[in-house]
Structure 1
């Protein structure tokens, strides 16, 4: 396998940390970033191929500095993994405007900003691979996911469009849509729940919160195996535009596809009736 330079956001724990560890073990160079680079060093130690950097994806000056430092150290960036993000789980009417903006600032606008900073490097090289970490929530919504899922739907639409824009420069884009992966995504360090309440939603809100808390650190997906899948995808000459990670992700995808097909067929005649002829 050819050695590559990886730039990974959200690399201090969870999927990002396991991916950084796996990439280093495979002989790649890794610029691993998080809000506190000391957490990365504490987890991975020092390594000739590791560059640990402070990076808040909502801070444009930190993004520019991290990309510049990676170029100075490694000479380029072959693989970008937009992994930084968090889950806001709460019913829409129990969410505030600040909740909405904060979720989009990190999960969408932060991802946009990092991608915008790295693409010129990849274009100059005429090669690169952008991985945007989405979720099963990027193809199917559910109660409590109105904010989180909407950010992931945005990431998927962005990624599909971006892939068409940069393919002429030898740059690939792959959406990775994990199912429930056994990380701290659902514990207090990561997930955020709605802090306001509406009486009509009280029972549903409590049920959903209990559902997620019961599954924290009990998820079936293995982050180590997911990291191995990233490495395999990055080695592909023709990588997929979208990769669903986990059997649960496949089941959710299949259910969504079947639902779309059922509704498509049921209303096909009405759909065609919208067509008109030019006068």
Structure 2
């Protein structure tokens, strides 16, 4: 099929908005699962036959069934699920509260898992589909001050890598997208969450906090360009398991791979020495 039906969470701005606009411009249909449906009014007016907007709180699994039903009731099928909704959390491990950590895990892991589980039976019956998991360069490499965010992205990537092998026999593809800094709402005041600063970590994380707080509007990545790449791949015959986006992502993820490979080789003999001795 040339025309696809997408579900996109967090479609009011950033990557989600860019992907929705790109898909609609191609003639695809989109179910936008968003917290503020009124923010999609302009696209609803422009694409009344292709766009369905559903109110959805991406920090709770409660609305998952309604989103999936909206897609099948309106368009009869689901070809693409984009788990895009997310936000950043900044703070040291001792500063981030349990509630903040749990919210990050709900938003970036448990709700995407629930949505994926809900669409898979439909995709299997159709004989195909694509799951797009919007991760981050932080899904492969973490750094001080963002553990509450990256731990959820690491978990999503591990779960999705296993998923890819499980659903491939049914024609369902999984693509994990790992962007660097893109000019989305991620770093906006009121979107990016900061834990209460402690005296212990005030100086340790001062640079990280400042860098995250001042990045809005100067990020290198173009979300419209990213959306075009993602949609082109979704419409193609093959998708990569992992797709880094942005020059910084290529550099940071590449550095992570090389560093970890060097550590593996450094400690390889020690590691091998923990096996039982071979029997003769």
Normalised TM-score (structure 2): 0.95
Matching residue of 2:250: 250
Alignment of 1:1-279 (within 5 A): 2-42=2-42, 45-47=45-47, 48-195=49-196, 197-277=197-277
Deviations 1:196-249 (A, max 9, x none): x32121112332211112211100000000000111110221211000001110
CA distance in structure 1 between the partners assigned to 2:219 and 2:278 by the alignment: 55
How far did 1:57 drift?
2.7
Query: How large is the RMSD of aligned CA atoms in angstroms?
Result: 1.5
CA contact (8 A) 1:181 1:222 kept: yes
Residues 212 and 44 (structure 1), Cα distance of their counterparts in 2 relative to 1, 3 Å cut: farther
CA contact (8 A) 2:60 2:107 kept: no
CA contact (8 A) 1:132 1:176 kept: yes
Residues 110 and 152 (structure 1), Cα distance of their counterparts in 2 relative to 1, 3 Å cut: same
CA contact (8 A) 2:127 2:172 kept: yes
SS of equivalent residue, structure 1 residue 189: coil
Moved over 3 A (4+): 42-46, 58-61
Q: How many residues align?
A: 278
CA contact (8 A) 1:41 1:52 kept: no
How far did 1:188 drift?
1.6
Q: Structure 2: which 5+ residue stretches go unaligned?
A: none
CA distance in structure 1 between the partners assigned to 2:183 and 2:101 by the alignment: 26
CA contact (8 A) 2:134 2:176 kept: yes
Greater percentage in helix: 1
Q: Structure 1: which 5+ residue stretches go unaligned?
A: none
SS of equivalent residue, structure 1 residue 172: strand
How far did 1:44 drift?
5.5
CA distance in structure 1 between the partners assigned to 2:219 and 2:29 by the alignment: 30
Residues 60 and 99 (structure 1), Cα distance of their counterparts in 2 relative to 1, 3 Å cut: closer
Normalised TM-score (structure 1): 0.96
How far did 1:91 drift?
1.2
CA distance in structure 1 between the partners assigned to 2:88 and 2:178 by the alignment: 14
Deviations 1:35-62 (A, max 9, x none): 1211122466341111111111344342
